[in-house]
Amino acid sequence: MTNFFLAISQKDFTTTYSEQGKGKSFSRLYASLNHITNQFRSISEEKEAQYIFLSLLVEQIRVGILSIDQHGKVHLINQTMKGFLTNPNIKSLDELEISDKELAMAFRDAQAGDSQVIRKAIDGKITPLTILASEISIRDNRFKLISAQDIRNELEANELEAWQRLIRVLTHEIMNSVSPIISLTATLSKVVAARNEANETFSESDRETLQKGMEAILSRSKGLHHFADAYRSLTRLPQPQFQKVSVSDFIEKLLLLFDEEIKQKRISVSRSADPRLKMTADPELLEQVFINILKNAIEAIEGQPNPTITIDASLTRDNRVIMIVTDNGGGIEKDVLDKIFIPFFTTKKSGTGIGLPLSKQIVQIHRGSIVAISNPGNGAVFEVTI
């Protein structure tokens, strides 16, 4: 028995015991010991096979994997992750900081559920890496599992598509202004040329035509100037001033801005937020985001028999603040929903198409996200996560 327990304690599952010539009692005992040893051996072999399989899987995937403990010691690193590092033989984050300081800081700061993109020089090329983190506890030890993925191709494809969309919208907006200006200028030039050739003075009708034409040109020129100002506002966001903000106070101050309009249009507004809930944000910039969302919601519910807007705030599973604005308007068509965050895209006659794109930029500098959800006829939902 001593040998059996010693073998088990040393994880030696190769020992067997002869069941012959020992008497019935000892034969049954040795048979039981052999059965237990075989069970342990089977479990050990299965675990070994799983470990080999997972090790091969981790090495084969094209995503960098790094596992560190609470002290920054590296317990696992695959070949893809090594390819992202200047020194692939690191044993800790302290060693990584010597050769790749920015990457080491990103790994240290990464929180479970967070996603960030950093740019790193790899083989002389600037490569965008998306960093994701999760945390696990094994017995009394905590481990952080970090993944890094090269998203250059995806970004290039998305950037190309974004540029193509933006160029289409810019071309549409500019041509809408330039075409009538060209047409009017040509008409006025003909009027002036005809009178000059005939050596005639301008009639009252000619003067009226010239006056109206120049007013139209001035109006479209102002429209182009306004368009250029709108474009400039998209490219010159102020530096955010982050501070701790009470979410419930933020919502109340926001609704105060729309108080008169809400009363006039008899809109039912409900809000839900824990008074203790706080977020780190620039309140002035973030206020602009929700002004745009609420303006759109108020316009969307116009004409509804019971116009309603709800604002709910809560914590997500990864401890981020999510604010959800819901209206009971007509909803957003699917082909429009795909474009609402594209600069200058608008379905409104007097719209500039910068409200939601600007809102998205503001949310992104808060390292958050903004999502629109809608089924035509069932209202719209905007989710802002900070």
Longest dimension (CA), the chain: 138
Query: Any idea which architecture 61-150 has in CATH?
Result: 2-Layer Sandwich (3.30)
The alpha carbon torsion through 214, 225, 350, 333 (nearest 10 deg) reads: 130
CATH class for the domain made up of 243-385: alpha beta
Q: What are phi and psi of 210, to 5 degrees?
A: -65, -45
User: So what's the pLDDT on residue 320?
Assistant: 92
Q: Do residues 373 and 307 make contact, with C-beta atoms less than 8 angstroms apart?
A: no
Using one digit for the tens of pLDDT, what is the confidence trace for 148-196? Answer: 988 877 766 766 666 666 666 666 666 666 766 777 777 777 877 877 7
Regions in the chain scoring below 50 on pLDDT:
none
User: So what's the pLDDT on residue 318?
Assistant: 80
User: So what's the pLDDT on residue 111?
Assistant: 83
In the chain, domain spans: 2-58, 61-150, 155-235, 243-385
| Spatial CB neighbours of 113, under 8 Å, sequence gap ≥ 6 | 133, 134, 316, 317, 318, 320
Listed as own residue / partner, the contacts of 75-81 with beta carbons closer than 8 Å and 24 or more positions apart are 75/143, 80/148, 81/148
Helix and strand element counts for the chain (H, E) = 12, 12
Beta partners for 128?
119
Q: Note the residue count of the chain.
A: 386
Q: Do residues 307 and 319 make contact, with C-beta atoms less than 8 angstroms apart?
A: no
Amino acid at the residue 121? A
Using one digit for the tens of pLDDT, what is the confidence trace for 16-57? Answer: 656 665 666 667 666 776 677 777 777 766 777 676 666 666
